[in-house]
Structure 1
Amino acid sequence: MLKLASILYKLLMTAIVLSILAVVGYSYRFLAPGAESGTGFSPMMTAYLVILVLMTLLGMLSILYHRRFYIKPLRAVEDHIRKVDLNNPELEMLEVNEASKLSELMAGINMLLYRIRHNSREYKKDQKKLKAMNQKLEESLFISQSAQNGIMLQKNQFEALFKNSTDAILILNHHRQVVDLNERFVQLFGYYLEDLRFKEPDAILNEPSKFEDAKSLTDKLFKGEAFELETERLNNTGEVREVSMKGVPVLIGDEVVGAYQIFNDISVRKRSEYELRFLSYHDQLTGLYNRRFFEVEMDRLDTERNLPLTILMCDVNGLKITNDAFGHRMGDRLLVKTADVLRSVCRSEDIIARWGGDEFVVLLPKTDQKTALEVVERIKQASCNEKIDSIMISISIGFSVKHESDELTQEVFKDAENMMYSNKLYEGPSMRGQIVHAILNTLHEKNPREELHSRRVSQLCGALGSAYGFMNTRVEALKTFGLMHDIGKIAIYEHLLNKSGSLSDDEWLEMKRHPEIGYRILSAVNDMSEIADLTLAHHENWDGTGYPKGLRGDQIPLESRMIQLADAYDAMTCDRPYRSALSPETAVNEIIKNSGKQFDPILSRLFVEEVLKMSWYDRSEIICQTQ
């Protein structure tokens, strides 16, 4: 509006200036020197000029009026409006002059300024609110993004754990159907997701007889209750898998929307537990129950409903001789075979245990004395039909029966043990004698050369004993000693006995063990204890350089000195793997040369002259002959 007023003002000023110039121009035309005389203003011209002057005056008055009452106030309003600072909360109002022609306009402008100020304040408030809301929105967006990132991270972590877990995992939906499974589940059970998708696993992973138990667990799971137990499940081939199983419900609020079933293969652990349990209650060698288990079972079965209760004690005859002669492996075989005999005879409900060493014990519930005697007879018959190589199995047995509940089980056990030891006194010696002869036969079967050697030594010993003046009974005993003097070689490796070259130091030490082994074998038999002592000393030298004790002179038993001579002579005059036989003369020379060193000097001369019927030479002569 102010610009329009300014334009009108300029137009009026231009019109006034033009009017003045017109009046001046016309006046000059008629009043200037040289103008035609008598020429004057016509009435019309005069009127025109008067009107023009009046209009000019009127325009000037109008201009002055508008300038004072409109343009000037409008400029003041314009200046005020230019100075208005919308950011200033204290916005100044225009001064309204009631007499001013623009009072209404200024009042309207003030109203507008008031509204602007009010709206500016509201805008700033809204701006602050909007800024706060924007900040909250940014924070919410950040939190939302962080939450989304966290959810994505958890999702990725879950997927990584799910896929790479060492546990087999099934994920079930709210219908109890499989919706996912991991690779470990495939490895453990052989089922792929395509095989189980949207199927209930209980009917697939369980035997029909165990379906209801499995279903009850799933019912519990979908009631929101977790569970954990050890159980069995079937793989895709029907093979049983021992697993630990854990069920975890998935809840949204109080509603079960799904579940996890987690399986861990515990078959290795179960096998180890079974083996540990087996070892703790079983004898490792025979597989029978051990003493610890037997004592527990004896207490358990010691009830009136199991009466009469029979306790049967068994002892393997000749185990020590077998161990000494053939080594502990042979003895172990004897024990295992005995265990097999007991298993074959006893009932499944009977408790058979290895009590310790060579003793076994059997607990027979609901077994009277007559039945117990039948069991004993069957055991003896079965053992007679069994052999370990050439060794027969012999078992001494004792038993006792508990008839009344007030009888002490320990006393019944003691009676059975005493009966067994009593029977062993009668059966043991004859059995040990049989074992000795079996050992000797085994040695001779393995090495026929040793049998021929033993027979020749026996004959030479008999001749030397007679020459020495022994009675016939002593001569026969000496001949028996000659047959058995090398019985200890049964435990020496056969390749050492037949080695064609010289023995190494270690091999020689092994070979020198045979007198001690023979002693242990023979001393186990009561009527062979004297022969055992003679066998131990048959490699002792007169000068104390022999083995195993280093005895000298008369410390060495007489029969052992005789055996040494016969043994050495036969060894020299017969072929050996490591050399050919020497001539009798050469062998005699060796005996004479070592008389007083290796051999008893008196027995040496007696052996050469009376047994071999050869001449005795002085040692010096023999040395000269050999030179």
Structure 2
Amino acid sequence: MDTYTFQDIFDMDFLQKLIDSLSVALQVGISIRGPKGERFTKDSDYCRFCRDVVKKSPVGRARCDLSDRALSAHNDEKPYICHCQSAGLTDASVPIIVEGRHLASILVGQVRLAEDVPEEEEYRTNARILQLDEEEFLEHVRAIPTITRAQFEHILDLLSLLAGQFSQLGCGNLRLQDAIRSLESQRLLHQQEKTVLETLAEKDSMTGLYNRRKFEEVADMYAGQKGRRICMVSADANFLKLTNDIFGHKAGDQLLINIAKIMDSLAKSDWLVARCGGDEFRVILPDTTLETALDYCRRVARDCGKDTTLSLPLSVALGAADWDSEKETLQDCFSRADVKMYQNKQALKHEQHVPEYIMERLYDRQILSRIVVDHAAEMAQAFSLCLGLSREQAREVGLAARFQDIGMAKLPESFYIRGQSRTEEETLRIRTHVTQGYTMARQFEELYKVADVILHSHENWDGTGYPNQLAAEQIPLEARIIHIVGDYTYWTMPTISGGNYPRDAVRRKMAELAGSIYDPGLTEDFFRFLEGYRPSEPEPDAGEQD
């Protein structure tokens, strides 16, 4: 409320006309000024004295300005009367107060009081001070009629009543303006709420795409436009359930958001891209050829494949069909696109190897070393064959060795920052990676058989390992094998967090731990195996160059 100005609540054109009329009727000069002397109305001069004589002089103009500012600053409720500082005439001010604030003053001037007429010499002195012609000054000042103090006070009473009316009018105008602003604010808020509700009614809140309701509404509209060239695209996000099961629903939501962004960014402005529930997306492509629709599908699949920000591959199955409006309904067209999508989904199942993708992310984040993992898998398979296991069994041991730490993908990356010590709670949480790995392995057909081996790959011979504190031959043979091979590989090869110890020192250390950490008989078999083992030459690992 304290930010409003005098001009905000009064009609200044009307006030100018009122002041001009009052000046003529009352035969006094009148103007309305702000508290600092700023002009709100032009000066209404009923005579020429001030305008044509006094203000011709620079000194006179300056003194008039000083008088006006002094009068304007007066904010007492009663009128203030004084002599002007230029010609010795009588001035007065009547303040206008609105809700306790001094917004303006009515200034009154060009008054000669009969009881206070100076001697001629005093007028001449004023003329000389103002550097004006004394005779001209006298001539014009004598032309100003005199009034009695009583008459002047009546004029001020009238202007005080007027100022009071201004105050009441100002208060009323303020309240009216507040009411208008409130209504305008409510109207704007209503419009915003309406816009939000309309958006919610047709947009998917998570992805920002259109929803099923909007899709069906637009599809119904196009369904009646026989002969129009329209294509339909059916899309289904891959690995949503897997992402939710392994990494949680927040990760699943992000998967859908990323797909939605790609599909929307590659669509033309007149296409409608909608999320119709769960992992299902649909696109209506009006005035579009089938080749353009297929190209759109290829570009969406390509850009999804480039996105490596998620723990699982960003992948979407797509199918497209063009509408033959003479032979089928638009829904029939979409059904054909749906069939194509499911065919694409089946093909993608055989093309995408999710466990390997997860491991690639662990390599990229330098949580695991590709060289160490490859070497451990190769050695575990070779050692298993040396122990007399079948080729299939040995292959499964190598597979378990390769993916034994896949569960680390579910742990916060901050746990693996080099040079940062871990709290006891973080250490305990890191140990859950084997149970996480077990859960993940059971999700994949290629790892299902080795899930139990992964679960027990960190159990110790004396029962101090984790997660189930199994001991001795309670621990599966395959798990005992990859425990020995994994630790040996980790210690003897250069790793992200250390390693690269002399092989003889590692063998001595492992011999000391045989019977507590490792199966003692299996450890001796491993040492004999090492005597004749020659690993294949590893490929350079970019993650190990620093």
**Which category of TM-score, normalised to the shorter sequence, fits these structures?**
0.5 to 0.7
The correspondence for 1:288, drawn from 204, 209, 216, is: 209
**Aligned match of 1:511:** 430
What code does the residue aligned with 1:162 have? N
Query: Does the alignment pair 1:335 with 2:256?
Result: yes
Alpha-carbon distance in 2 for matches of 1:513, 1:276: 45
- Note if contact 1:314-1:396 (Cα within 8 Å) is conserved in structure 2: yes
**Aligned match of 1:105:** none
The correspondence for 1:584, drawn from 506, 509, 530, is: 506
The correspondence for 2:480, drawn from 558, 561, 565, is: 561
Query: Does the alignment pair 1:439 with 2:358?
Result: yes
What code does the residue aligned with 1:563 have? I
- Note if contact 2:232-2:284 (Cα within 8 Å) is conserved in structure 1: yes
- Note if contact 2:209-2:273 (Cα within 8 Å) is conserved in structure 1: yes
- CA drift of 1:506 comes to 2.4
CA-to-partner distance for each residue in 1:279-330, whole Å, 9 max, x for gaps? 3422233221123332333334332447565432112334556667877666
**Aligned match of 1:138:** none
Seen in structure 2, the aligned counterparts of structure 1 residues 413 and 510 have a Cα distance that, compared at 3 Å, is farther
Seen in structure 2, the aligned counterparts of structure 1 residues 516 and 271 have a Cα distance that, compared at 3 Å, is farther
Summarize the alignment of residues 317-396 of structure 1 with structure 2, pairs less than 5 Å apart.
317-319=238-240, 332=253, 334-365=255-286, 371-385=289-303, 387-389=306-308, 393-396=314-317
- Note if contact 1:341-1:379 (Cα within 8 Å) is conserved in structure 2: no
**Aligned match of 1:27:** none
Query: Does the alignment pair 1:417 with 2:338?
Result: yes
CA-to-partner distance for each residue in 1:481-521, whole Å, 9 max, x for gaps? 32332233234333322455663232123312323444455
- CA drift of 1:472 comes to 4.2
**Aligned match of 1:160:** 171
**Aligned match of 1:43:** none
- CA drift of 1:276 comes to 3.7
Seen in structure 2, the aligned counterparts of structure 1 residues 579 and 443 have a Cα distance that, compared at 3 Å, is closer
Seen in structure 2, the aligned counterparts of structure 1 residues 307 and 545 have a Cα distance that, compared at 3 Å, is farther
- Note if contact 2:411-2:433 (Cα within 8 Å) is conserved in structure 1: yes
- CA drift of 1:439 comes to 3.0
What code does the residue aligned with 1:398 have? G
3-state SS of 2:369 partner? helix
Alpha-carbon distance in 1 for matches of 2:219, 2:246: 36
**Aligned match of 1:301:** 222
Query: Does the alignment pair 1:526 with 2:445?
Result: yes
3-state SS of 1:506 partner? helix
- CA drift of 1:454 comes to 1.6
What code does the residue aligned with 1:420 have? M
**Aligned match of 2:318:** 397
- CA drift of 1:163 comes to 0.6
**Aligned match of 2:400:** 481
Seen in structure 2, the aligned counterparts of structure 1 residues 403 and 459 have a Cα distance that, compared at 3 Å, is closer
Alpha-carbon distance in 2 for matches of 1:572, 1:590: 15
- CA drift of 1:592 comes to 1.3
Alpha-carbon distance in 2 for matches of 1:427, 1:493: 29
**Aligned match of 1:617:** none
Structure number having the greater helix percentage: 1
**Aligned match of 2:64:** none
- Note if contact 1:317-1:394 (Cα within 8 Å) is conserved in structure 2: yes
- Note if contact 2:493-2:499 (Cα within 8 Å) is conserved in structure 1: no
Alpha-carbon distance in 2 for matches of 1:294, 1:313: 12
Higher relative contact order (CA 8 A, sep 6+): 2
**Aligned match of 1:278:** 199
Seen in structure 2, the aligned counterparts of structure 1 residues 285 and 411 have a Cα distance that, compared at 3 Å, is same
**Aligned match of 1:111:** none
Summarize the alignment of residues 225-304 of structure 1 with structure 2, pairs less than 5 Å apart.
263-264=184-185, 266-304=187-225
Seen in structure 2, the aligned counterparts of structure 1 residues 575 and 380 have a Cα distance that, compared at 3 Å, is closer
3-state SS of 1:437 partner? helix
- Note if contact 2:322-2:333 (Cα within 8 Å) is conserved in structure 1: yes
- Note if contact 2:318-2:340 (Cα within 8 Å) is conserved in structure 1: yes
What code does the residue aligned with 1:372 have? L
Structure 1 residue runs without a partner (length 5+): 1-151, 170-183, 185-242, 245-262, 614-627
Aligned residue pair count: 365
Query: Does the alignment pair 1:312 with 2:323?
Result: no
- CA drift of 1:552 comes to 6.3
TM-score (norm 1): 0.48
- Note if contact 2:204-2:275 (Cα within 8 Å) is conserved in structure 1: yes
Seen in structure 2, the aligned counterparts of structure 1 residues 350 and 604 have a Cα distance that, compared at 3 Å, is same
Structure 2 residue runs without a partner (length 5+): 1-162, 533-546
- Note if contact 1:346-1:375 (Cα within 8 Å) is conserved in structure 2: no
TM-score (norm 2): 0.55
- Note if contact 1:304-1:405 (Cα within 8 Å) is conserved in structure 2: no
Summarize the alignment of residues 65-144 of structure 1 with structure 2, pairs less than 5 Å apart.
none
3-state SS of 1:417 partner? helix
CA-to-partner distance for each residue in 1:542-582, whole Å, 9 max, x for gaps? 56665446666666554333212222344455688599959
Alpha-carbon distance in 1 for matches of 2:254, 2:341: 22
- CA drift of 1:164 comes to 3.7
Alpha-carbon distance in 2 for matches of 1:492, 1:273: 43
- CA drift of 1:469 comes to 1.4
What code does the residue aligned with 1:443 have? L
CA RMSD of aligned residues (A): 4.3
Seen in structure 2, the aligned counterparts of structure 1 residues 278 and 589 have a Cα distance that, compared at 3 Å, is same
What code does the residue aligned with 2:406 have? I
Query: Does the alignment pair 1:493 with 2:386?
Result: no
Higher Rg: 1
3-state SS of 2:270 partner? coil
- CA drift of 1:540 comes to 4.1
Seen in structure 2, the aligned counterparts of structure 1 residues 469 and 400 have a Cα distance that, compared at 3 Å, is same
The correspondence for 2:522, drawn from 597, 603, 612, is: 603
